[in-house]
Each structure stands twice: as C-alpha cells, then as structure tokens.
Amino acid sequence: MSGFPGSPRLVKGGIVQVDPASGAVRRVIPLQYNPDTLNRSFQIAAAREGGDRSEALRLSGPPAETIRCDVELDAADALAEGSAPATDVGLYPQIAVLETLVYPTNAALQATISQAALGTLEIVPMESDLTLFVWSRNRVLPVRITELSVTEEAFDPNLNPIRARVSLSMRVLTVADLPFGHKGAGLFMAYHQQKERLAGMTTGALTALGLGAIP
C-alpha cells in the first residue's frame, strides 16, 4: 500500500470474540489481507411447501445466511524484516488463533473431564464466546463457524508454515437461533435494520421495466 499521505486508510475485515453476557470484547482477529470475494447464500425460511394456499406469501423467519471466504496468510514480509515470532514459528500463531474458534477452551474441557470423573450424569456444555464476523461498519454479524480448512502452501527450513490459505464457512445466527435479549440477537436485529435502511436508498420505476402500470 502506498505511503502517500492522501492514500485511503484500508479497513480490515476480521473476527471478534465477545462475552455473550456483557458484550465485552475478548479477542480481535484482523485478517492479514481482505479476501477478494465473499460468497453469501440464503436458505429461505418459507412456509411449508404444498400447504394451505394462504401460506404462499408467508415467511416463517429470517433466512439461513451462509458466508464463505478464503483468508490468505503470508509471513514473507515479517521474515524479510527478521521479525518474531515469524522467524521462530512462522505462521503458527495466526493459524492457531483461527483454529481456536472451533475448539472449546482447555479450561472447559478440563471442567468436563472433572465432572465426568465425579460421576455427573448430565454435563451441560459451557457457552462459548459469541463470534462476530466484521466486514465494515455495515456488517457486524453474529456467526457460528461451520467449517474451517487450512492449506499450508510453503514452509521454512524448520517446517514452520510461512504461507497458508484458510477457508472459512460461517452461518449467520439470527433471532431464530438466539433467545430474546441475547447480545447476538440484538446484533442480528441491528444488521437486519441496516439492511432495510440500505435497501431504502434504492429507487425504481415501472417505466424502467417497460410498464405504465401493473396489469
């Protein structure tokens, strides 16, 4: 990126983990490079197919939105500058911080093992941090990581990865997934309201479609 003082400041996309009760930020994971593309798909929550004809125009809730992207990681610049930890362990820290998004914490696993050893019949999984996918101020989405794959593409002489690609699949959590009053539910509603506000900025006329009126 140019060092010219008039150059626009690049806003990074990233992932934020917050306490689901207090909303306190626990970890921020900015992406090293913004993905070139985001693939977004929607599974529509329509009324039951083949049901009563009065249900044809009804939606039972928000759609299930899935986001997919590839995250590029490269230690070349850090290695050229002789910066740690890249010189010691390559990209292991950057890869590990993304991998921990799909792991329960070590403390949670130890607690489960302890309860099982005490003969606890029903062990309720601990609630994990709320994960947010941030893609500009217009998209702050509560998500669940549904799939994560890592392709390590180059290594240093000690076999530390120095170039990698991480593929992320995320499902947006909606008010159908989270209880009323949950921090994530509030963030989804804000995202939904922002979507409606942005949609309101568009204009259209029937004449653009070659129509003077609906027949």
Range of the domain at 142: 14-199
Q: b/e map of 74-107 (b: 16 or more CB within 10 Å)?
A: bbeebeeeeeeebeebbbbebbeebeebeeeeee
Pairwise pLDDT comparison (29 vs 2), residue with the higher score: 29
Q: Is the pLDDT of residue 47 over 80?
A: no
Measured CA to CA, the distance from residue 180 to residue 193 in angstroms comes to 16
Q: Is the pLDDT of residue 56 over 80?
A: no
Q: Is the pLDDT of residue 69 over 80?
A: yes
> Do 96 and 103 contact (CB within 8 A), yes or no?
no
Q: Is residue 3 part of a domain?
A: no
Q: Is residue 207 part of a domain?
A: no
Tens digit of each residue's pLDDT (9 = 90 or more) over 149-172? 999 999 999 999 999 999 999 999
How many other CB atoms are there within 10 angstroms of residue 139's CB atom? Answer: 17
> Which pLDDT belongs to residue 1?
44
Q: Is residue 7 part of a domain?
A: no
Question: Which pLDDT band, with edges at 50, 70 and 90, does 2 fall under?
Answer: very low
Q: What's the pTM?
A: 0.83
Q: Is residue 188 part of a domain?
A: yes
Q: What percentage of residues in the chain have a pLDDT greater than 90?
A: 56
Q: Is residue 48 part of a domain?
A: yes
Measured CA to CA, the distance from residue 129 to residue 29 in angstroms comes to 14
Task: Extract the tokens encoding 175.
Answer: 């008010």
Total number of domains constituting the chain: 1
The candidate with the shortest Cα–Cα distance to 38, out of 172, 164, 129, is: 172
